[in-house]
Amino acid sequence: MGEKRFMKGNEAIAEAAVRGGCRFFAGYPITPQNEIPEYLSWRLPEVGGAYVQGESEVASVNMVYGASAMGVRAMTSSSGPGISLKAEGISYLAAAALPAVIVNISRGGPGLGSIQPAQSDYLQATKALGHGGFHCMVFAPASAQEAVDVLYDAWDYAERDRNPVLVLMDGCLGNIMEEVELPPMKELHDEDLPEWSLTRRNGRDWQGNITPIYTEPILEGLNAMAGEMYKGWEEDDVKVETFMTEDAEYVVVAYGIAARVAKEAVLTLRAEGVKIGLIRPITLFPYPKAAIRDLDYTQVKGIIDIEMTVPAQMREDIELQVMGRCPVYEYGRSGGCLLDDDGVLEAIREVLEGGEA
Amino acid sequence: MKTSFVFSGAGGQGIMSAGITLAQTAIDVGKHATYLPEYGPEQRGGSAKCTVVVSDEPIVSPLPRQCDNLIVMNEQAYEKFIWDLKPDGILLANANRVKEAPDRDDVKVILVPVDDVALELGNPKTANIILLGVLTGATGIVTREIFVQSLTEKFGKKPDVLEMNVRALDKGIEIGQQYK
Amino acid sequence: MAEYKRASLLADSPSGYCPGCMHSLATKLIAEVIDELGQQDNSLNVISVGCSALNILYWGGDFLSVAHGRAPAAATGIKRVNPERLVFAYQGDGDLAAIGLAEIMSAANRGENFTVIFANNQTYGMTGGQMAPTTLIGQKTTTTVYGRDPATTGYPLKMCELISTLEAPRFVARYALNSPKGVNDARKGIKKAFQIQLAGKGFTFVELLTNCPTNWKLSPLDTLDYMNTNTIPYFKPGVYKDTEVDAK
């Protein structure tokens, strides 16, 4: 039985990271994620870890690059504009095959946008988190508790793959306070440091080096290996919640905070006898393709994509699986205007009544 | 049973702390609660708003459009959120800063001059706790005992602050019970 | 008579730097100092971007190759989680004084306990000889074909002078590699910087004035005279800050 606490999402993320073995953090202030660095600035030293406030997001992600090369579980966090600045470093992490965890508590965009919550970074997170055509596993928890669970295990994926992992949440989930159950501290030992790490030269008779630079034909081979890794994720690592889809005539697809508001609407409509269900991707990459592709389209009359961004960004991924077998509708709020229960319910009702969402 | 609360007022009126205290107290009695602050760019003096949802079941959506209870500490907050209160909901307003004749007759109105009451008690900072007391007295959302327990957890190291807050709570409950 | 041996951390292959390029010399100096200090197994070279990145082929010791300009940030991450290692970054002028200006100044200002060795040859070598932040006034490059004009491009950045204004750095010095004395002084400077780091005392910065025969379009020998006439009068060699001495 874990320890229960009423915690802010951002602080729950930070504490779960520490318990999951994070011992290095570098970041730069940006709303709405500031509680993560603030918390870790005192928490990491308590457990023998290190915290650095970088001079920029660019510097911070490169500090993570350095710490990760030493085999230490390292993390940075930011919000949209800062994630753009980290894009260079994330690409280098992927190139150098270095594990790391990056958290994006997203807000309205593009540009400086707004500091209020929004789910405006889906495309950036899933399609191109940096240059050069690489992917990270992208987790999209929908509650403080799920964020705790994801952060606790994030380095297990990152180290398994030697690839960065992205956790995508929005400002609502970063700032919400909810009850969470915290897992116990993972015990990490020096002898468990990854064998590739540059930590201990002594006793090692080979040169330790880590580089993001390769030439042909080695780079092509590495690109192909990355491709195999992404396929492996699709087979083994997809996480998705499907809710009341068995007999559903309408299926809502939503992730993160939008999925919670959407689920409330599904529950309300079910109580009225409407055959409606929800598919909630927990991993946005690998995308839960099968959950959408394998729906019974003789039964499903429409798919409704609900996101806290306008226009919807996940829609293309949905449509690739629906393959024209039923209409796809979208509803969203954007730019810091939040989704709410009534708005989502009304939008779904419009679809049910034959209108557009 | 799911109940939602919106607290709003000016920054510095204890809005956020009232919301957190209510949510924490609800959890202490074994209910589920979410607290969602709405944050603005100002560090001081801006408007403050938070939404608290309390339920016997795990909370699915923390984003209701309309709330069951609206607690406003000033006129600006009243104007902004009065139509976000459900019909038959409770409006709890600081009569010192909100006009006496609300626009809505489909809600239960509780007007308390909390600034005056807090001053009488000797500390204007306790206005938010008085409001929570009124809410407790009027709705019975949580019991006094649990509230005192949460306040003790929060202020236990400062006995005089705790004592002041418990007095504020009791005064609020006393006022709230008239509206039960 | 001491036996002359190849430094142990130089890869067992000839350097691929252009003939007469002082990157080879600078790299050798660092490797020799590491041998002298017995730090072969403990050293970690943070390799930057530019011609310096070729060291991923020539450096036989542990290294981490990093993004353009970010070596001081990466070294910060390394050193904070592994304080006992001898960590140094080797950066060129475009890397350090242009794209990485924020990283070098901030790491120096935090007093990070590592050493930055700055190779200043006043040009972007690997990309073909464009103007660098340290390019001299009037110097012709592929992006200043009539010579660097301060009216539109400002003045060459003096990094030792800038960094020595900061409180935290412990040792800041500049050496010119175009004379035997300069080379010997540089070797001593690098050694001193490493010793300060190994004692856990803080940030050290060693600037080496180097050349680029290829992009300066001079013979290696002529670059030595060019440096005496043009580079050294502007970038004056010397110790700019030494808290070991200043404190006395």
Mean pLDDT of B141-161: 89
Residue C189 has pLDDT above 70, yes or no: yes
Residue linked to tokens 């002298």: C36
Tell whether A198 is within 8 A of chain C (Cβ). Answer: yes
- Asked whether the beta carbons of A109 and A156 are under 8 A apart, the reply is no
Tell whether B175 is within 8 A of chain A (Cβ). Answer: no
Cβ–Cβ below 8 Å for A63 and C82: no
Taking residue B88's Cβ as centre, other Cβ atoms within 10 Å add up to 9
Binned at pLDDT 50, 70 and 90, residue A104 comes out as very high
Domain spans, chain C: 22-246
Taking all residues of chain B, what is their mean pLDDT, rounded to a whole number? 92
- Statement: A3-202+211-236 belongs to CATH 3.30.70.380: no
Q: CA C114 to CA C46: how far, in whole Å?
A: 10
Residue-wise pLDDT tens digits, B101-111: 678 999 999 99
User: Which has the closest alpha carbon to C139: C216, C212, C37, C70?
Assistant: C216
Give A177→chain B minimum CA distance, Å. 5
Give A340→chain B minimum CA distance, Å. 5
User: Please, what CATH class does the domain formed by B2-177 belong to?
Assistant: alpha beta
Mean pLDDT of C114-132: 97
* Domain A3-202+211-236 identical in fold to domain A240-352: yes
Residue-wise pLDDT tens digits, A139-155: 999 999 999 999 999 99
Q: What percent of chain A has pLDDT over 70?
A: 97
Q: CA A35 to CA A15: how far, in whole Å?
A: 11
Taking all residues of chain C, what is their mean pLDDT, rounded to a whole number? 96
Nearest-CB residue to C42 (from A201, A209, A213): A201
Name all chains with 3 or more CB-CB pairs below 8 Å to chain B. A
Tell whether B156 is within 8 A of chain A (Cβ). Answer: no
Cβ–Cβ below 8 Å for B33 and A178: yes
Residues in chain C within 8 Å Cβ distance of A69 = 64, 74, 77-78
Residue-wise pLDDT tens digits, B85-140: 999 999 999 999 997 667 899 999 999 999 999 999 999 999 999 999 999 999 88
Cβ–Cβ below 8 Å for C56 and A211: yes
Q: Which two tokens stand for residue A191?
A: 């002898």
What pLDDT is attached to residue A177?
Answer: 98
Interface of C with A (CB under 8 A): 41-44, 46-47, 53, 56, 60-67, 70, 73-82, 85, 102-103, 105-106, 110
Mean pLDDT of B8-22: 92
What pLDDT is attached to residue A202?
Answer: 52
Interface of A with B (CB under 8 A): 6, 31-32, 115-116, 171-172, 175-179, 257, 260-261, 263-264, 267, 338-343
Mean pLDDT of C136-155: 97
Residue A1 has pLDDT above 60, yes or no: no
Give A202→chain C minimum CA distance, Å. 6
Residue-wise pLDDT tens digits, C34-70: 999 999 989 999 999 999 999 999 999 999 999 999 9
Residue-wise pLDDT tens digits, A251-276: 999 999 999 999 999 999 999 999 99
Closest residue in A to B31 (Cα–Cα)? A179
Tell whether A74 is within 8 A of chain C (Cβ). Answer: yes
Residue-wise pLDDT tens digits, A292-308: 999 999 999 999 999 99
Residue A201 has pLDDT above 60, yes or no: no
Q: What is the pTM of this model?
A: 0.96
Residue-wise pLDDT tens digits, A222-248: 999 999 999 999 999 999 999 999 999
What pLDDT is attached to residue A355?
Answer: 65
Taking residue A104's Cβ as centre, other Cβ atoms within 10 Å add up to 25
Residue C201 has pLDDT above 70, yes or no: yes
Interface of B with A in 66-105 (CB under 8 A): 66
Binned at pLDDT 50, 70 and 90, residue B78 comes out as very high
Q: Which two tokens stand for residue A270?
A: 């079910």
Cβ–Cβ below 8 Å for A177 and B20: yes
Question: Between A and C, how many CB-CB pairs are < 8 A?
Answer: 120
What pLDDT is attached to residue A268?
Answer: 98
Nearest-CB residue to A264 (from B24, B41, B60): B60
Name all chains with 3 or more CB-CB pairs below 8 Å to chain A. B, C
Mean pLDDT of A10-14: 98
Determine the residue among A268, A341, A348 to mutate to test chain B binding: the one whose Cβ has the most chain B Cβ atoms within 10 Å: A341
Residues in chain A within 8 Å Cβ distance of C80 = 24, 50, 52, 63, 67
Distances B157 to A7, B151, B153 between C-alpha atoms, Å: 21, 11, 8
Residue C41, C-beta contacts closer than 8 angstroms, at least 6 positions apart: A201, A202
Cβ–Cβ below 8 Å for A209 and C62: yes
What pLDDT is attached to residue A2?
Answer: 77
What pLDDT is attached to residue B47?
Answer: 84
Give C37→chain A minimum CA distance, Å. 15
Residue A81 has pLDDT above 80, yes or no: yes
- What is the SS3 string spanning chain C? CCCCCCCCCECCCCCCCCCCCHHHHHHHHHHHHHHHCCCCCCEEEEECCCHHHHHHHHECCCEEECCCCCHHHHHHHHHHHCCCCEEEEEEEHHHHHHHCHHHHHHHHHHCCCCEEEEEECCEECCCCCEECCCCCCCCCECCECCCCCHHHHCCCCCHHHHHCCCCCCCEEEEEECCCHHHHHHHHHHHHHHHHHHHCCCCCEEEEEECCCHHHHCCCHHHHHHHHHHHHHHHCCCEEEEEHHHHCC
Residue A106, C-beta contacts closer than 8 angstroms, at least 6 positions apart: A79, A80, A83, A117, A118, A119, A120, A121, A168, A169, A170, A171
- Asked whether the beta carbons of C222 and C230 are under 8 A apart, the reply is no
Tell me if there are at least 3 CB pairs under 8 Å linking chains B and C: no
Domain spans, chain A: 3-202+211-236, 240-352
Residue-wise pLDDT tens digits, C138-147: 999 999 999 9
Mean pLDDT of C69-91: 97
> Which residues is C124 bridged to in the sheet?
C130
Cβ–Cβ below 8 Å for A74 and C63: no
Query: Strand, coil or helix: what is A331?
Result: strand
Give A176→chain B minimum CA distance, Å. 5
User: Which has the closest alpha carbon to A49: A29, A77, A90, A19?
Assistant: A19
What pLDDT is attached to residue B60?
Answer: 97
Tell whether A88 is within 8 A of chain C (Cβ). Answer: yes
Tell whether A211 is within 8 A of chain C (Cβ). Answer: yes
- Statement: A240-352 belongs to CATH 3.40.50.920: yes
Mean pLDDT of A64-70: 97
Q: Quick one: fold of C22-246? A: Rossmann fold (3.40.50)
- Over its C-alpha atoms, chain B yields an Rg (Å, rounded) of 15
Binned at pLDDT 50, 70 and 90, residue B75 comes out as very high
Residues in chain A within 8 Å Cβ distance of C42 = 201-202
Residue B46 has pLDDT above 80, yes or no: no
What pLDDT is attached to residue C8?
Answer: 92
Query: Strand, coil or helix: what is A316?
Result: helix
Classify the phi-psi angles of B98: left when phi > 0, otherwise alpha if psi is within -120 to 50, otherwise beta: beta
Nearest-CB residue to C78 (from A69, A88, A211): A69
Residue C220 has pLDDT above 60, yes or no: yes
- Asked whether the beta carbons of A150 and A139 are under 8 A apart, the reply is yes
Cβ–Cβ below 8 Å for A52 and C76: yes
Residue linked to tokens 């409180």: C167
Mean pLDDT of C156-174: 98
Determine the residue among A79, A116, A178, A252 to mutate to test chain B binding: the one whose Cβ has the most chain B Cβ atoms within 10 Å: A178
